[in-house]
Structure 1
Amino acid sequence: MRHRPTTIFSLLAVAGLVLTAFFGGLAGTLPGANIQARHGSSGSVVVNGIVAGAREQPARFVDKTGQVRLELSLRELIGELEARGTPTDNAALFARRDQSSTLLTEAGITLQLPDGRILPVFAVPSSGFHLQPDSWVALGVGFLSLIGGLWVLVLRPRELTAQLFAISGASLWAASLTIALVIQSSIATPGWGMQYLLQANHISALVFGWALVSIFGVYPLPIVSRTAVGLLAVFLIGLGLAGLFDAWADVFGIQVIALIAIVALTFVLVLVQAWKSRKDPVHRASVAWVGTALLLSAGLFTAVNFIPILMGSPPLVGDAIAMTAFLLFYFALAIAITRYRMFDLGNWTVHVVRAVIVLLLILVADMALVYWAGEQWTLSFAVLLVALAWMPVRGRLMRLAERRRDRDNMRLIRGANQVAFAIQPSEQTAHWRDALAAQFDPLEISGTRTEVAEIRDDGRILAIPSPLGGDALALSYAGKGSRLFDSNDLEMAKAIHRLVEEMIAARRAYDQGVREERTRIARDLHDDVGARLLTGLHMADQRLRPTLQAAMSDIRAIVSGMTGEQVSLERLLSEVRHETARRLEAAEIHLDWPISEEDDDERLLDYRQNKAITSAFREVVSNVIRHARATSMTVRITAGGDRLQALVLDNGDGMPEAALAGETQGFGLRNLRRRLVDVGGRIDIQSSSGGTEIRLSMPLGLATAPSTSEQGVTGPKGDLSWTA
C-alpha cells in the first residue's frame, strides 16, 4: 500500500463504486404505492397532497367485499418507520407493514382515511431504474465519504488516526446505503426488510460515532488510551446488537441518546485537545479547523435530526440532506489528518466562521420576518435586511483590513529600500535580515538552502532565498511563536524578495549611469583642464610652478577616483612626502621624514582613502606653517597589519585651550575629521607649550564607516580625542 498508493486506492474506489451502484439499483427497483404520504405541520399527515388528519388517527384497508383487512395509524403510511415501542409493539409494527405490502398486491383494495376520503390503493411495480433526489444525495454523500477514508488510509496505512478515519468513512457509507433504501421504501415494502435496514442504519451510526470520538481521543495529541477506545467499541457494538435483536423497550431511543452523548463527548475531547495544543501552533491550527467544522456540522445535524426525533417530531430535513453536514466535516477532518496545507487552516477557519455568521444572520432574519409577517415574506426580504445590517459593518471591517495591509506594504517597501540602498554588502545582509524580522516577527532566524520561497514543516518554517546572492534564511514560527506561516506570508516573502531584486537592479543601473557620467567628466578634466594646466606649467615662473604642479596632482587624483582607479600606498606616501617637504622648505621648517624601507606595492587604496591621507597631511602642514611657529616637524609612518599609523610632531607653541576643547575648530580641522571618520579612521591630538603631537590612524582594507565604539570618541564633538 505504501509503494503503490494510487493503484490500491483506485481498486478500492472501484469496488466501493460497484457496491454503491448495486444498492442504488436495488433501491431504484423497489415497488412503490399509488398513494404518497408525508409529515405535515402540527403533527398532521398529508396524503396525496391533502391533509388527512393527525398522525395517530387510523386508516383502514378495505377489500372489495367491504371487510376491513388492516387498520394502522396515518403515521405508518409514511415509508419511514420508527421502532420506539416494546419488542412486542415493534414486532406488531413490522407485521402490519408485511400485511400492507401483501394487501397492495390484491385487487379491489381501498384505503379509508380519517377525512372521509376513500382511495384505491395498489402497488406500483418499478418501471426501470428510478431514484428520488434524496436517495441520490445519500448515495453521493456515502460514496464520497468512503473514498475520502480510503485515500487517507492509503496515504498513512500505519497511523491509528487514518485507520479510524477510514472506519468512519466506511460506516458513513453503509449508513447512506440504508438511508437510500429507506427513502425509496413505502407501504409496499415488506416489514422484515425495513426492520433490518433500520437496524443496519443504527449500527452504522454507532460505529461512525465511535470512530469519531476515538479520532479526537488520539488526534492531534493522544489524550485517551487505546484500552478506553476498545472498551467504548465493545459497549457500542453491544448496544447495536441489542437493537438488532430488539432486546428491550425503545432500544432505538437509547441508541439515539448514546449518539448524542458521543457527539457531546467529541466536543469535550476537542476542547481538551485545544487546551493541550495551545502552545503548539500546528496542533492549535488543526484543532481550531476541525473543531469549527465539527461544531457546525454535528450541531446542525443534531438540531435538525436527533432532537426532533427525541421530542416525538419528524426530522426537520431528510436524513440524506442532514448527512451532507457530516460530509463537510468529514473532509475538513481529512484535510487536517493528511496535514494538507496545515499552515492555511487558521485562515480557512476564519473564513468559514465568517460565512456561517452571515448565513445565521440571514436565517434569523428570515425566521423573524416569517413570524412577524405571518409567512407572507420571502427570503429576499431577509437577505435585504441582513444586507442593510451587515454590509456597513463588513465595509468597516474591510477598511480596517485595508489599513492593516497598507501598513504591511509600507513596512515591506521601507525594508526593501534599506536593503537595496545600503552602502556595504555587510550592511545589506544585516538590513535584509532586519526587514524579514520586522515583517514576520519570527521566533528564530537561521541559515538554510533553498532556491525559492517555501513553507516547510506544516507552516513552522518559512524559507526565503537571499536576493543578495548569499545563503537563504529560515524563519521559525511567525509572530514570536504565536502562529504558523501561511499562504499570505509566503506571498509576502515572494513580494519582498522580488522587490529587493528589482530595487537592487535599479540601483545597479543607476550606479552604472553615474560611473559613465563620472568617466565622461574625468575624461574632460584630464583632456581639457589638465592640458591647460600643463601649458601654464611650461610658461610659469619658479614661484607659480609648485602651485600648478599641485593642482595637476589633485586633478590626477580626482580623475583616478572618478574612474575607480586605485593607487598604491607606497606611491601615495612618496607623493605626500615630496609635497610636504616642498611646502615646509618654502616656510624654512626642517622636515624629518625618513623614507620607508617596507614594500607597500601590494597595498592599494581607493579614492576616499587616498583623499583622506592627502587632505590630512595638507591640513596638518598648513596648521604648522600658519599657527605653530615651529622650526622642525617629524613624521613617522607605520603600515603594519591592516592599519596605517602616522605620528606627526612639531616643536611649536602648541594649540590654544579653546581649540583643544573643541570650541573653536576651524573648517579645515572639521573637514579632516569628517574625511577620516568616513573611511573608518581617527585623529588624536596632544598639545602643550613645547609642541603638538598628532596621531592619525586609518584602516588599509575596505573602507567602512565605523561604529561609535570603534572611533575612540572621548572629546566634546564625539569623534575627536583631545588631551593637553
Structure 2
Amino acid sequence: MRYPIFVGLLTTFTLAAIQWRLSNHQPLQRAILKWFLLAWLGGGTVYTGLHMVPLVLNRDAILSQSLGWGVLVTIYLVIALGITRFRLFNLDRWVVTGWFWFLGGGAIIAFDAVLISMLDLNNHLSLAIALAVAGWLYFPARQYLWSYFSRSNKHNDYREMLPNLLKTLLNIDRQDLQQEWSQLMHRLFSPLNIEPIELSPEQVQLHSEGVSLAIPGFHDISGLQLSYADHGNRLFNNDDRRLANAVYKLFCHIQEFRDAFTNGVQEERKRLARDLHDDVGARLLTLVYSASDERQGELARETLGELRAVIHDLESKRYSLVPILSELRMETAERCESRGVVLQWLQADKIGEDPLEARQHANLKRILREAVTNALRHSNASNLKIDVKVEEMQLILQVSNDNVHFDTNNPHKPGRGMRNISSRAEELGGSAEWRMGSESLLGGYTVQIVIPLQGKITTDE
C-alpha cells in the first residue's frame, strides 16, 4: 500500500512537469495547473511526508491515519474553493501565497525533524531551536523573497511612469492619441495582443476568466481589448482592472483639460481679433483716407493689410498648403517685378493638400517674405530662384540669388533678418541654413528652410 502511493505521487509530479511545459503562454491553463498543484501535491506531500515516510523508516508516524485521511480530504476542498469562490483569474495570485505558506511551514517541520533524528535532541529543545531559527532566519528570509518576487511581477514603477505619462499626454497631437493610448497599455501590461473594439464597455472589465481585459473608449478614441498579460505568462486580475481603470480616468481628465484649454485659446483668439479689427483696424482705415501724401497712404494700406492677415490667422485653425504657396508666389512675383528682378519659381508636382496650423501659416509667410526681402534690399541680384518641395513630410524651401551681399570678412555674421528666419523656423520644429558662393545654387547666396508639416509647434500664444 505504501509503495504504490509513492509511485503515484512521483507520477503526479512527472505529469505536472510535462503539463507545465505544455501550458507555456497559456495563462488560463497555467493558473488551473498552479492551483491543482497546490491542492493535490500539497495535500499529498503532507500526508506522505508525515505519515508514510516515518513508517518506511520504521519510526512512529508523525500524523495519525485518521488525521492523514483528513489531510487528503482537503485536496478536494481546496479545488472546490478555487472554482466556486475565487474564480480562475484570482487563482494565479492566491496560489503563490499558498505555496509560500505551505513551503514555509514544511521547512520548519522538516528542520525540527532533522534536529530530533540527527542530533538526538529531545522534543522541547528541538522545538525551541526551531522557533529561534524561524524567528531570526526564516521569517526575514521569507519576507525578503516575498518582496523580491512581488517586485519582479511589477514590470513598471508607476510612480516614475506618472510624470512621463502626463508630459506625453499633454504634448501629443490629437491625431496620435489612439496610438499613444495603445502603447501606454502595452507598457503597463505587456499583452500578447491589443485590438480595437467597436462596442466599447462602459467601464474596464475582465473577460474569459482573466484572459482578456476590455477598456472603454472616449471621445474619438476607440475601446481596446488586451489579451494574455505579461506576454502570455499570466492572467489579468482585479489589480490590473483597478490600475487600468485609474489610468483610463486619468487619461479622460487630461483630454478634458486639453479640450478646455484649446477652447479657451480659441475664445481668446477671437476676442483679440475683434479688438484688433474694431480698434486698430478702424484707426488705420482712417489713416488711409486722411493721409497727407501718397507714401503715407501706401504705408497705411500695407499696415492695414498686414493687420487683416494677422486677424485672419487668429480666427482660422487650419490652412491648406497649396493655396498658401500660390498666394506667396503671386506676392513674390509682384515684389520682384517692381525691382526688376527675374523670378524663377520651381514647385514640385507632388505637393499635396497638407494642412497647416495658424502658427505654421503665419511663420511660413514671414520666413519667405524675410528671405525675399534680404535678396531684394541687401544685394544687387538680378535673378531670384525659389525651389519648393515636400520630402518625408517636410516642407523644403530654397531661396537663392546671384549676388553675394554678405561681408566677405565675416560672411556668416547673422543680422536681425537672419535671426528672425532661424527663430521662426525653430519655433515650427524646423531649421534654416545659409550657403554662399560656389555652394549656392546661383553663385550668390542660398537660404534653405526645412519645416516639418506634422512637427511639434510651440504653443506660447
**1:436 CA drift (Å):** 2.2
Partner of 2:361: 610
Amino acid at match of 2:379: A
Distance 2:397 2:114 in 1: 92
Using a 3 Å threshold, how does the CA distance of structure 1 residues 262 and 669 change in structure 2: closer, same or farther?
same
Distance 1:285 1:497 in 2: 27
Contact 1:681–1:696 (Cα < 8 Å) also in 2? yes
1:288 to 34, 59, 67: 34
**1:606 CA drift (Å):** 4.1
**1:409 CA drift (Å):** 1.0
Contact 2:50–2:61 (Cα < 8 Å) also in 1? no
Q: Give TM-score scaled by structure 1 length.
A: 0.48
Amino acid at match of 1:352: G
Partner of 1:543: 295
- List aligned pairs for 1:631-642, cutoff 5 A: 631=382
Partner of 1:558: 310
Partner of 2:261: 510
Amino acid at match of 2:440: S
1:543 is paired with a residue whose SS is helix
Amino acid at match of 2:63: L
1:356 to 87, 98, 102: 102
**1:299 CA drift (Å):** 1.3
- The Cα RMSD (Å) is 5.1
Distance 2:68 2:304 in 1: 95
Partner of 1:205: none
- List aligned pairs for 1:568-717, cutoff 5 A: 577=330, 581=334, 585=338, 588-589=339-340, 606-631=357-382, 652-654=402-404, 664=413, 666=415, 668-669=417-418, 671-672=420-421, 675=424, 687=440, 703-705=453-455
Distance 1:346 1:405 in 2: 14
After alignment, is 545-554 or 339-348 more displaced? 339-348
| In the alignment, structure 1 residue 261 sits paired with structure 2 residue 34 | no
Contact 1:342–1:459 (Cα < 8 Å) also in 2? yes
Partner of 1:417: 166
Give the length in aligned residue pairs: 434
Distance 1:481 1:663 in 2: 59
Deviation per CA, 1:129-158, whole angstroms, max 9, x where unpaired? xxxxxxxxxxxxxxxxxxxxxxxxxxxxxx
Contact 2:200–2:222 (Cα < 8 Å) also in 1? no
Deviation per CA, 1:222-274, whole angstroms, max 9, x where unpaired? xxxxxxxxxxxxxxxxxxxxxxxxxxxxxxxxx45434433333233223322
Distance 1:646 1:308 in 2: 90
Contact 1:416–1:503 (Cα < 8 Å) also in 2? no
**1:333 CA drift (Å):** 3.9
- Identical counterparts, % of pairs: 25
Q: Give TM-score scaled by structure 2 length.
A: 0.70
Q: Which of the pair has the greater relative contact order for Cα pairs under 8 Å at 6+ separation?
A: 2
After alignment, is 469-478 or 664-673 more displaced? 664-673
Deviation per CA, 1:63-93, whole angstroms, max 9, x where unpaired? xxxxxxxxxxxxxxxxxxxxxxxxxxxxxxx
Using a 3 Å threshold, how does the CA distance of structure 1 residues 276 and 521 change in structure 2: closer, same or farther?
same
**1:605 CA drift (Å):** 5.8
Distance 1:537 1:387 in 2: 95
**1:611 CA drift (Å):** 0.9
Distance 1:446 1:473 in 2: 6
**1:521 CA drift (Å):** 3.5
Distance 1:283 1:403 in 2: 22
Distance 1:476 1:396 in 2: 32
Using a 3 Å threshold, how does the CA distance of structure 1 residues 643 and 356 change in structure 2: closer, same or farther?
closer
Distance 2:389 2:37 in 1: 74
Contact 2:206–2:212 (Cα < 8 Å) also in 1? yes
- List aligned pairs for 1:131-142, cutoff 5 A: none
Amino acid at match of 1:316: L
Using a 3 Å threshold, how does the CA distance of structure 1 residues 424 and 417 change in structure 2: closer, same or farther?
same
Contact 2:31–2:91 (Cα < 8 Å) also in 1? yes
Contact 2:228–2:235 (Cα < 8 Å) also in 1? yes
Partner of 1:431: 180
Distance 1:284 1:635 in 2: 67
Distance 1:295 1:429 in 2: 47
Partner of 2:49: 303
**1:543 CA drift (Å):** 2.8
1:469 is paired with a residue whose SS is coil
After alignment, is 290-299 or 394-403 more displaced? 394-403
Distance 1:638 1:545 in 2: 38
Deviation per CA, 1:10-35, whole angstroms, max 9, x where unpaired? xxxxxxxxxxxxxxxxxxxxxxxxxx
**1:347 CA drift (Å):** 2.0
- List aligned pairs for 1:132-211, cutoff 5 A: none
2:264 is paired with a residue whose SS is helix
Deviation per CA, 1:361-409, whole angstroms, max 9, x where unpaired? 6657888999978649999x98797455555556656766579869531
Distance 1:410 1:681 in 2: 34
Distance 1:314 1:645 in 2: 88
Amino acid at match of 2:312: S
| In the alignment, structure 1 residue 347 sits paired with structure 2 residue 96 | no
Distance 1:697 1:268 in 2: 67
Using a 3 Å threshold, how does the CA distance of structure 1 residues 463 and 351 change in structure 2: closer, same or farther?
same
Amino acid at match of 2:251: V
1:493 is paired with a residue whose SS is helix
Contact 1:629–1:653 (Cα < 8 Å) also in 2? yes
2:440 is paired with a residue whose SS is strand
**1:574 CA drift (Å):** 5.2
| In the alignment, structure 1 residue 316 sits paired with structure 2 residue 80 | no
Distance 2:38 2:449 in 1: 71
Using a 3 Å threshold, how does the CA distance of structure 1 residues 271 and 589 change in structure 2: closer, same or farther?
same
Distance 1:314 1:689 in 2: 103
After alignment, is 287-296 or 299-308 more displaced? 299-308
Contact 2:336–2:343 (Cα < 8 Å) also in 1? no
Using a 3 Å threshold, how does the CA distance of structure 1 residues 665 and 442 change in structure 2: closer, same or farther?
farther
Q: Which runs of 5+ in 1 are unaligned?
A: 1-254, 595-601, 707-724
Distance 2:163 2:363 in 1: 33
Contact 1:636–1:646 (Cα < 8 Å) also in 2? yes
Using a 3 Å threshold, how does the CA distance of structure 1 residues 304 and 609 change in structure 2: closer, same or farther?
closer
2:262 is paired with a residue whose SS is helix
Contact 1:584–1:625 (Cα < 8 Å) also in 2? no
Partner of 1:525: 276
Contact 1:653–1:690 (Cα < 8 Å) also in 2? yes
Using a 3 Å threshold, how does the CA distance of structure 1 residues 631 and 334 change in structure 2: closer, same or farther?
same
Contact 2:387–2:397 (Cα < 8 Å) also in 1? yes
Using a 3 Å threshold, how does the CA distance of structure 1 residues 557 and 384 change in structure 2: closer, same or farther?
farther
Partner of 1:716: none
**1:530 CA drift (Å):** 3.5
Partner of 2:223: 472
Using a 3 Å threshold, how does the CA distance of structure 1 residues 390 and 290 change in structure 2: closer, same or farther?
same
Amino acid at match of 1:409: Y
Amino acid at match of 1:550: E
Give the greater-gyration-radius structure (CA): 1
**1:519 CA drift (Å):** 3.5
**1:351 CA drift (Å):** 0.8
Distance 2:224 2:264 in 1: 32
Deviation per CA, 1:506-549, whole angstroms, max 9, x where unpaired? 22223333333344444443344434444444454433344433
Contact 1:411–1:439 (Cα < 8 Å) also in 2? no
Using a 3 Å threshold, how does the CA distance of structure 1 residues 491 and 689 change in structure 2: closer, same or farther?
closer
Using a 3 Å threshold, how does the CA distance of structure 1 residues 385 and 637 change in structure 2: closer, same or farther?
closer
